[in-house]
Each structure stands twice: as structure tokens, then as C-alpha cells.
């Protein structure tokens, strides 16, 4: 409970800072208001310098441009190319969802209460990709509704994002693994085509992978620690991809709240075409 409380205090501090400093404020734990204001001014000056240099050094620049304001959209064909080698799935969103809701492609169909397909708006600017449903999700059929989901909603709101109008959420696995164990490789292989088809149909401007399983799947970098691939913008079929910790991990380990927040700032910058 101490960890959860301190994590909530961090978020409360973050929200107070944003109210005082504005939506582009930096969140830096332990700073006074004056120190934060000085740093925010430095950051703004740095951002202006970056704008004028017009040099984007992130990996995404190699094969895709963020679909922010004034930037060309990632092509639907590029994402479709990623999914072209997958099993044939329905081409329409409604049919894909119906197909998943009755799926028995892997052993997880035997123990589930409900298939958890997605939540949020269908044509969202941001698509959040998690790992697998937990007990609350299995019961309700909606992803990220437990404590971790509520924390995710709160953190997303600090960068102006909400599943009510800008966010779509789905998991790598659509059915709950027993006892919330980790997904098995054959389960990921069986289920991930649904997720990849969802990405193709939703056409998000930016992807946010939370947790190792979604990060490794979408970056294609298996067995790489999350800490080594977060903090930069990757590229999934032309769509900018930010990877970060799972919100459930933040509840267990509040020291990851700050890097999570920094990754959300990065996502916001990509979304704004910075
Ligand atoms: S986890 Fe995915 S592949 Fe397995 S039964 Fe559920 S929907 Fe089908």
C-alpha cells in the first residue's frame, strides 16, 4: 500500500505541476515550482532550437514519418504489408471482432469467461497495446478496467488523451491466461494476428506498447529488456511506436512512474508532430 500511496502522490504532484505550469510542463520529482519553471523555459528553448534545425534523429525517420500535424500519414499499405503473411482474417472491423469473440484457436478459450477484444474509439489517434486480460477484464469483457487500468487512464489524461475520444486499447492476447501467468509463445502466435489486424484497421497515428510482451512483439526485438528499448521512437509498419512499462508494474514499482511519464511525453511530441 505504501508503494501505491507514494505512486498516487507522484501523480497528484504531476497534476498540480501541470495545472501551474501548463500542458507542456516537465514532471521532475523533487523539484520546487521555481526550479521546474526554469527547467520548463530551458526545455522550450531547446525545443525551438530543434524545430529550426529540422533534424529528426529518431529511428522512425529511417522508414516512416510520424503522422502528426503537417506530417504525411503512415500508409495503410505499409501496415497491411506487415499483416500480409498472417492467417486470413475478416477485412472489416465488425467481422474481425465477431471472429475473435468466438475464437477457439488456442487453449485459453477453455478457461475464459469472455473474449476481451478492445475498448476506446475505433478510429483513435493513439492505440495502446497491453499484454492480456486479468480477472476484472475477463469478467467485464473490457481491457484495463482494474487498478492498473484506472492508473493508465489517469496517466493518459495528463497528456490530454482519453479512451473516450483519442485512445483505442487492445491486448496481445484476447483471453485471460489462468492465474494471470505470462503468455506462452504459441498463444502469442495464435492470437497476435487479431491485434495486428486491429492496428491495420484502426490506423492509429501512434502506437504505445505497455509491457514487455507487446513491446517485443511490435518492435520485433525478442528477449530484449524493456529498459533497453524504451525512451526512443520505434517504427511498426510506418506507424511511430513508443514502448514503456505496464501500468501494473508501476503499481508494484513506483520508481518506474517517472520513465513512464517521460515516454508519454515522447508520445505526445510525436502526436503533435514535434
Ligand atoms: S487467446 Fe486469442 S487465439 Fe486464443 S482463444 Fe482467445 S482469441 Fe483465440
DSSP-assigned states of every residue in 206-248: EEEEESHHHHHHHH--TT--HHHH-SSEEEETTEEEEEE--HH
User: What does each C-alpha distance from 132 to 31, 95, 188, 195 come to in angstroms?
Assistant: 36, 21, 10, 11
Length of the chain: 274
Supply the pLDDT for residue 223.
Answer: 86
CA of 139 to the centre of ligand 1 (A): 16
Other Cβ atoms closer than 10 A to 85: 7
Helices (H), 84-157: 93-101, 135-140, 147-157
Supply the pLDDT for residue 122.
Answer: 93
Could you give the angle at the alpha carbon of 59 between the alpha carbons of 58 and 63, nearest 5°? Answer: 120
Give the nearest ligand 1 atom to 173 CA.
1
CA of 137 to the centre of ligand 1 (A): 14
Supply the pLDDT for residue 262.
Answer: 97
Q: Take atom 4 of ligand 1 and give the residue whose Cα is closest.
A: 106
pTM beyond cutoff 0.85: no
Supply the pLDDT for residue 43.
Answer: 35
Supply the pLDDT for residue 136.
Answer: 96
**What torsion do the CA atoms of 244, 133, 143, 95 make, to the nearest 10 degrees?**
110
Instruction: Name all domains of the chain by residue range, CATH numbers in brackets.
Output: 1-55 (no CATH), 65-271 (3.40.470.10)
Supply the pLDDT for residue 60.
Answer: 32
Query: For a substitution probing ligand 1, which of 191, 193, 196 has the most ligand atoms within 8 Å of its CB?
Result: 191
Supply the pLDDT for residue 199.
Answer: 97
**Distance in angstroms (rounded) separating the CA atoms of residues 274 and 270:** 6
Supply the pLDDT for residue 132.
Answer: 98
**Distance in angstroms (rounded) separating the CA atoms of residues 89 and 91:** 6
End-to-end CA separation in angstroms for the chain: 38
Supply the pLDDT for residue 33.
Answer: 40
Residue ranges for the chain with pLDDT beneath 50: 1-8, 12, 14-75
Instruction: List ligand 1's pocket residues with C-beta within 6 A.
Output: 100, 103-106, 108-109, 115, 173-175, 187, 190-191
Amino acid at each position: 500500500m505504501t508503494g501505491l500511496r507514494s505512486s498516487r502522490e507522484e501523480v497528484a504532484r504531476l497534476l498540480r505541476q501541470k495545472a501551474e505550469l501548463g500542458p507542456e510542463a516537465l514532471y521532475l520529482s523533487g523539484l520546487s515550482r521555481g526550479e521546474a519553471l526554469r527547467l520548463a523555459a530551458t526545455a522550450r528553448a531547446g525545443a525551438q532550437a530543434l524545430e529550426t534545425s529540422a533534424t529528426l534523429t529518431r529511428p522512425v525517420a529511417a522508414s516512416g514519418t510520424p503522422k502528426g500535424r503537417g506530417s504525411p500519414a503512415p500508409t495503410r499499405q505499409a501496415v497491411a504489408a506487415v499483416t500480409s503473411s498472417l492467417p486470413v482474417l475478416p477485412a472489416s472491423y465488425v467481422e474481425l471482432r465477431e471472429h475473435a469473440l468466438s475464437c477457439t484457436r488456442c487453449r485459453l478459450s477453455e478457461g475464459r469467461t469472455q473474449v476481451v477484444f478492445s475498448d476506446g474509439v475505433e478510429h483513435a489517434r493513439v492505440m495502446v497495446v497491453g499484454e492480456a486480460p486479468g480477472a476484472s477484464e475477463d469478467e467485464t469483457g473490457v481491457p484495463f478496467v482494474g487498478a492498473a487500468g484506472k492508473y493508465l487512464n489517469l496517466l493518459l489524461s495528463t497528456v490530454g488523451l482519453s479512451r473516450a475520444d483519442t485512445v483505442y486499447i487492445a491486448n496481445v492476447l484476447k483471453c485471460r491466461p489462468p492465474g494471470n501467468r505470462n503468455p506462452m509463445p504459441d498463444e502469442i502466435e495464435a492470437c497476435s494476428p487479431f491485434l495486428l489486424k486491429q492496428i491495420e484497421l484502426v490506423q492509429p497515428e501512434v502506437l504505445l506498447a505497455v509491457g514487455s510482451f507487446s513491446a517485443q512483439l511490435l518492435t520485433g526485438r525478442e528477449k530484449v529488456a524493456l529498459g533497453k528499448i524504451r525512451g526512443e521512437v520505434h517504427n511498426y509498419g510506418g506507424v511511430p511506436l513508443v514502448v514503456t512499462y505496464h501500468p501494473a508494474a508501476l503499481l508494484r514499482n513506483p520508481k518506474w512512474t517517472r520513465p513512464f511519464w517521460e515516454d508519454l511525453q515522447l508520445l505526445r511530441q510525436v502526436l503533435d508532430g514535434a
